Structure 1
Amino acid sequence: MMEYSDFKFKKMQSQLQEYFDDYFSKEDFLFTLDCDIEDVWNLYLDSFPDEIKGIYHEKPWHDCQRCHLWFKTMANVVMIDDDYKIRTLFDFKTIPEYQDVFRALDEFLKTKRVENLFLHDKHSVGVFRSFAEYDGGFDENHHFYLDLPEKFYEDTENLASELGDALTQRQLFEDTLNLISPDAVDTVLELVHSNSLYRSIQWKDTLEGLKDVFEEFSQLDSNCDLNNWLWKKSANLPRNITHIKNTSMGTLLLDITGGMDLEQAVTNYEKITAPTNYQRPKAIYTAEMLEDAKSKIAELGYMDSLERRFAKLEDISINNVLFANRDVRTTLGEGIFDKLRKNVSRKVYNFDEVSEISLDEFITNVLPHAQEISLHMYPSLKNNFVSLIAPLNEDAPSMFQWDNPYSWTYENNITDSLMKERVKEMGGDVDVDLRFSIQWNDGEWDRNDLDAHSTEPDGNEIFFSRMKSKRTGGWLDVDIIHPEKGKTSVENIQYKHKENMIEGEYLFRVHQYTYRGGDNGFKAEIEFDDTIFSFDYPYKLSNKEYVDVAKVELKDGNFTLTSICDNKVHYLDHAVHWNVALGDFVPVSLICYSPNFWNDNEFGNKHIFFMLKDCINDTNPSGWFNEYLNNELRPHRKVMEAMSSMMRVEDTENQLSGVGFSLGKLGMNKITVKVKTNNIQRIWNVII
């Protein structure tokens, strides 16, 4: 009987290992049931026929200590199949002597609930065989035993922690499904796709994965065991999905689910994630808000007002022009100027000295006599470049608070430089006294890890492992390690206040920390005193190679670009901006106030524009800004802001572009103009 039983057991043991290898070993995760193992063990023993149970007192064929220990570890281990039903270790066809026993175990275990993952601190469970002495000899006995794949192994020190983490992950996942709504996920995904959240692209895959989970959750069959589904899904999902409730993004999703205003919810999110100087690049709106705005715009008849172009001379009424150069007066009609000249006394102005006058004096006393005016283009005026914008359809109604359909846009309301804008989007501070920015990965995917460095006059170096200088306040506030495909990479070193800096030379350079295959080099910018110096290094950098870009000296409180260090670094001359030569006198085509002060309008802040001959706006400006909109459209300001940034302003010949100045704070600007009257020229410094 003994030999017969061991032979049968060996057959069953082999079938068990084969069954485990065919099914359980192919799973990424196994689970344990919440049950009393002693109940399982007793059921195992009690399920044998009486003739077998009756001999336990003589020989422990089945009531074996080694098998008992195996049961304590493995009897409640299950897999969860694709239909989210549990499959036990005893759910297979075996030899007749064990089939009824295993069926009883299987039926009992399937009434229990999954409670955790299965992990073990050894690569096998049980003892395959042992030898016992009987009647002066030795018998070979086989026991319950399984070889385990490496994926189910965890060392003893970490075992309890890993199982605790799995339980937490399962609970957080259930909380996420109960506390966050699918609509909130859809709303935030819209914001991510429109790049309306700070560094939101890092959440794209997570949110799309969570959206898929919600869709699957909503389609579960009513007979599906939810606990099994939660365990299998939570084990297989990445932690960024299962733990999202406890993240900044989770806070945003919970706020939206709870009914908080979208703008406020996003503001709360950005308080957690964004630096203090961050400005959101795009408006916050959803598909529902877009449809509401579209309906309102159509209802008010503003569809034709949305498409915009650059304004031209023919658009401007003579009544709204303060000055027009004589070569453009035929376009405007010269009658008013003839009348003005007859009614004023003529003076002969000298070109010997530069006199300083106020803007009011300039408009009242100089403009009526002027035949030609030229503006001296100081480099600092780059921030004042402006364009007048008109509707593509000349008959389109005004969307604005004033009665004409014209708007204006300053270049620095849209972008200072593309690199500078990208630094701002990444949370870098660009409102500083000195800035060094680098850019790469703006074409083919360049995965190199480039680093910006600044070596200060005392030898201290700012870079990724020493990001702040206590002595100077210098700070590497944007650091990219792994460039993303299709997304330009930037780094930024900034000095907020020059008074905190030490005098001497600052060396700015680029280090190829890790070469990963990109061979297109980098671009760089140094900015101080409202002037941007741009550089290009279009060459491959070897691993660990340094490129010295340029040196800037701080002396007596003033910055100077003293040298370009590497002869391969190309300095990009920005002496021409918007087709206008900086540093020269440029003819003024016309002078006018901003459209919100044309005719009898007086809305908001007043500006004065000096439109320059052949000045061409080569950016993609906004067609309007929200502060211009009338009260009917202001409830839809988020959608209107997004539309303005997305819709291209059409090019026109003889566009009205130049430089402009806000008149809200008089005395803040000084310009130099050359005025020609009756063939006599004089230069004025005008305080604006």
Structure 2
Amino acid sequence: MSIAMNSDHDHNATFDLFGAAVARRFASIDESRPLFTVDAGDLYSLYLATFREGEERQHYTCSCCRQFIQRFGNLAVIEGDGSITSVMWGQDENLPEIFRSASAALARAVGRGPVSGVFVSNEQRWGTPVTGGVYSFDGPKEWHHFAVTPQPSRLHRDRLPTPHQVMAQKKQDFGTLSHGLADFSRETVAAAVNLLEAEAMYRGEKVIGPARFLLDLHDKIATYNGERRRNLIWRAVATAPVGFATPRSSMVGTLLEDLAEGMSVEVVQRRFADKMHPLQYQRPQAAPTAGNIVQAESIVAKLGLAPALRRRFARLEEIKAIWKPQPARDEPAAGGVFGHLKAGQNAPSDPNKASVTSITWVKFEATVLPKAKSIKVLVKGLMNFAGVVTAVDPDAPPILQWDREGERNPVSWYVWNGGSSPISWRLPDQAWIEATGIMLKPSMWSGEDRASHQGKGAVIILDGAKETRTNAGLALFPECLRSELHSIRATIEAFSKRGQLEGADEGSANGLMVGDRGLDAVVNVVTDLGSASYKIDRWD
């Protein structure tokens, strides 16, 4: 609604109060809460109908305010009980009397209407606050209108997908998730979660998140029906990580289908393990089509990802270490017969003769690492060696799921299916190798929850471990890439297979991966009290 600066009309003098109230109400909504569009009917006509016919209604007829009400007037948040609250309008006795009816009527209409979608925008201002600046006999005139400024965290900043594409995908996800809830009963989903939490499923960490999400939603909507039930599903869709709202088209869906059909646990486990094999899971099984290659060129160009496709081996100083060896202290030689001895120092023991204690990684990290002065690992036979790689260009845009513009982490890893030998990493077989550091998986550097589906793991970095093979490709695996690249994963993988990692000679962050099943190697740790050998048999 407009107001002329130099008008004496009482109606004009009060509109700014209404506009300011709308802006305050919107600003009071927690910015972490997603916004939804509501099918509330013709809100602008409802707004005008609250004014008296004639001059008053004509005065508040405004194209800018009409556009605001039509585009943003139906925005709402969904409460925990499934009810809807308008983010622009409400019952407000502090408003000028002429606008109280309009605000209340619009709030009621939004609160009653069905949710029609998730709202996403990259516009820094919603609405046009001021127009005019026209000079008249009374001086310059300008008109004020409804407008709000969204918090920066509300803005969609990705080049792809666009806000329109995100909203369209969320609408599709709502239908898919609704069908998934109907197709898979709570009992079936609970059975899947129990198997996954018991670590009875191979690589189950990849799907435990979506399974828990589905179970939690089943419990949340159990006591609701009708629109409130629908609204709670919309609420879940808005905040669901990529892939969580599409159970039918994901690996958790195949697990649920097998359980729903009454297959035995043994059969379910075997079928799941086959599908989750590292060479199968999310890996394209055919060469990319010409159309997919064209699409990939377009997406990579729009996202500016070409520099990110060059990868090299990482150096020790580039990783986030949770442990490094303590440097030996240089002490002046003392005279006398016993000068070669140091007070409080035990004689080093032979790691080959030490008894081996089984220990979990969690306990090893908490109780052994803080006291460890040096660590060495006995390498022999096929082992779970890991190559640690990063971007050639440190300023290249993020391409990995755990990399963020505000918190860069372009480091990733790869292991060889079936393991690899020490000789393949320029290390002698049947030898003790010094550890130069220990790091968690790069996907865990910002906390275990950011990319929990990547599983838990740590790399014991070994002195001199360098990749000798040149057929590892670029180690750009679909399950590690940004979700925007999912549709072109066939092209990305083909590119990765034909590429070659750079800087093999300079790479100094390679080592042995400790996973859910521990590490099949003996680890010798030296502390101030002497040395002890451990076998890390599982994560926790």
1:11 aligns with 2:17: yes
Map Cα deviations across residues 16-65 of structure 1 (whole Å, 9 max, x no partner). 11111123x545211111355xx2212211220235446x2xxxx31112
- The aligned residue for residue 37 of structure 2 is 32
Query: Which amino acid in structure 2 is aligned with residue 105 of structure 1?
Result: L
Task: Report the AA paired with residue 90 of structure 2.
Answer: D
SS in 1 for 2:509: strand
Shift of 1:265: 3.3
Is the aligned partner of 1:168 residue 2:172?
yes
Q: Is the 8 A contact 2:40 2:109 kept in 1?
A: no
Report the AA paired with residue 20 of structure 1.
F
Q: 1:35 to 1:534 in 2, by over 3 A?
A: closer
User: Residues of 2 paired with 1:141 and 1:454: CA distance?
Assistant: 70
Post-superposition offset of 1:115: 1.0
**Partner Cα distance (1:421, 1:449) in 2:** 13
Larger mean Cα displacement after TM superposition, 260-269 or 136-145:
260-269
Q: Say whether residues 1:256 and 2:254 are aligned partners.
A: no
* Distance in 2 between residues matched to 1:13 and 1:77, nearest whole Å: 16
TM-score (norm 2): 0.52
* SS of 2:115 mapped into structure 1: strand
**What does residue 142 of structure 1 align with?**
144
Contact kept in structure 1, 2:89 and 2:103, CA below 8 Å: yes
The corresponding residue for 1:211 is 215
Matches within 5 A, 1:470-619: 512-513=508-509
Classify the secondary structure of the residue corresponding to 2:216.
helix
- Counterpart of 2:376 in structure 1 is none
| 1:96-495 equivalence runs, <5 A | 96-130=97-131, 131-135=133-137, 137-154=139-156, 158-218=162-222, 220-222=223-225, 225-274=228-277, 428-429=417-418, 446=440, 449=459, 461-462=469-470, 465=473
Could you report, residue by residue, the CA deviation over 1:406-436 in whole angstroms, capped at 9, with x for unpaired residues?
xxxxxxxxxxx9997989xx99436999988
Match of 1:7, SS?
helix
C-alpha displacement of 1:232:
0.9
* 8 Å CA contact 1:67, 1:144 repeated in 2: yes
Name 1:543's counterpart in structure 2. Answer: none
* Equivalent pair of 1:522/1:538 in contact (CA under 8 Å): no
Q: Structure 2 vs 1, CA of residues 120 and 439 (structure 1 numbering), >3 Å: closer, same or farther?
A: farther
CA distance in 2, matches of 1:440, 1:181: 52
Contact 1:44/1:101 (8 A) holds in 2: yes
Q: 3-state DSSP class of the match of 1:242?
A: coil
Other structure's SS at 1:184 match? helix
Higher gyration radius (CA) = 1
Q: CA deviation at 1:109?
A: 3.0
Letter in 2 for 1:241: F
Q: Match for 1:513: what amino acid?
A: A
Give the residue type in structure 1 aligned to 2:163.
Answer: L
2:51 aligned counterpart, secondary structure? coil
Rounded to whole Å, the distance in 2 between the matches of 1:46 and 1:178 is: 42
Shift of 1:69: 1.7
- Between Structure 1 and Structure 2, the one with more strand by share is 1
| Structure 2 SS opposite 1:117 | strand
1:190–1:103 distance in 2 versus 1, CA, 3 Å: closer
- 8 Å CA contact 2:424–2:469 kept in 1: the answer is no
Unaligned runs of 5+ in 1: 279-416, 468-476, 482-507, 515-520, 525-532, 541-569, 573-617, 621-688
- 2:9 is paired with a residue whose SS is helix
Would the aligned equivalents of 1:522 and 1:537 in 2 still touch at CA under 8 Å? no
Equivalent position SS for 2:201: coil
- What displacement does 1:536 show? 6.0
Q: Distance in 2 between matches of 1:207 and 1:198?
A: 15
Distance 1:272 1:127, change over 3 A: same
Corresponding position of 1:349:
none
CA–CA distance in structure 2, aligned partners of residues 510 and 169 of structure 1: 45
What's the CA shift string for 1:209-235, capped at 9, x where partnerless? 4322222222x2447612211111221
* Residues 36 and 115, structure 2, Cα contact 8 Å, conserved in 1: yes
Contact 1:439 1:522 in 2 (8 A): no
How much does 1:176 deviate? 2.2
1:321-365 CA-to-partner distances (Å, cap 9, x unmatched) read xxxxxxxxxxxxxxxxxxxxxxxxxxxxxxxxxxxxxxxxxxxxx
Write the mapping of 1:51-130 to structure 2, written as runs, cut at 5 A: 52-53=55-56, 56=58, 61-88=59-86, 89-93=88-92, 94-130=95-131
Shift in Å, 1:70: 1.3
Deviation at 1:12? 1.0
Report the Cα distance in structure 2 between the residues aligned to 1:33 and 1:480, rounded to whole angstroms: 36
Task: Indicate conservation of the 8 Å contact 1:180/1:253, yes or no.
Answer: yes
- Measured in 1, the distance between the counterparts of 2:247 and 2:163 equals 24
Q: CA RMSD in A?
A: 4.8
- Counterpart position of 1:22: 28
Aligned-partner Cα distance in 1 for 2:189–2:236: 18
Whether contact under 8 Å (1:274, 1:427) holds in the other structure is no
Residue pair 2:120, 2:156 contacting (<8 A) in 1 also: yes
Q: 3-state DSSP class of the match of 2:164? A: helix
SS of 1:241 mapped into structure 2? coil
* Matched-pair contact (CA < 8 Å) for 1:455–1:462: no
Report if the CA contact (8 A) 2:39-2:115 is conserved: yes
Counterpart of 1:79 in 2: which secondary structure? strand
Partners of 2:109 and 2:203 in 1: CA distance: 51
Segments of 5+ residues of structure 2 without an aligned counterpart are 1-6, 282-378, 386-414, 442-457, 482-503, 515-519
Distance 2:513 2:27 in 1: 56
Does the C-alpha gap of structure 1 residues 9 and 214 become closer, same or farther in structure 2, counting only changes over 3 Å?
same
Q: Hey, what's the Cα distance between the residues in 1 that align with 2:107 and 2:280?
A: 62
2:418 maps to a residue whose letter is D
C-alpha distance in 2 between matches for 1:523 and 1:225: 47
Secondary structure at 1:207 match in 2: helix
Shift of 1:98: 0.6
Distance in 2 separating the partners of 1:228 and 1:427: 46
Tell me the distance in 1 between the aligned counterparts of 2:15 and 2:241: 42
2:203 partner letter? R
Task: Please give the alpha-carbon distance, in whole angstroms, between the structure 1 residues aligned to 2:480 and 2:525.
Answer: 19
Would you say how many aligned residue pairs link Structure 1 and Structure 2?
341
Q: Please identify, of 90-99 and 105-114, the stretch whose mean Cα deviation from structure 2 is larger.
A: 105-114
CA offsets 1:48-98 (integer angstroms, 9 cap, x no match): 0235446x2xxxx31112112212211111121222211122213022111
* 1:237–1:224 distance in 2 versus 1, CA, 3 Å: same
Contact 1:450–1:510 under 8 Å retained in 2: no
Does the C-alpha gap of structure 1 residues 186 and 419 become closer, same or farther in structure 2, counting only changes over 3 Å? farther
Contact 1:440 1:446 in 2 (8 A): no
Relative to 1, partners in 2 of residues 1:439 and 1:101: Cα closer, same or farther, differing over 3 Å?
farther
1:33–1:77 contact (8 Å) kept in structure 2: yes
How big is each residue's C-alpha offset from its partner over 1:242-296, in whole Å with a ceiling of 9 and x where there is no partner? 2333212221112212334443333332232226899xxxxxxxxxxxxxxxxxx
Give me the whole-angstrom Cα distance separating, in 2, the residues matched to 1:276 and 1:138: 71
8 A contact 2:180–2:248 mirrored in 1: yes
Q: In the aligned structure 2, how far is the partner of 1:439 from the partner of 1:119?
A: 53
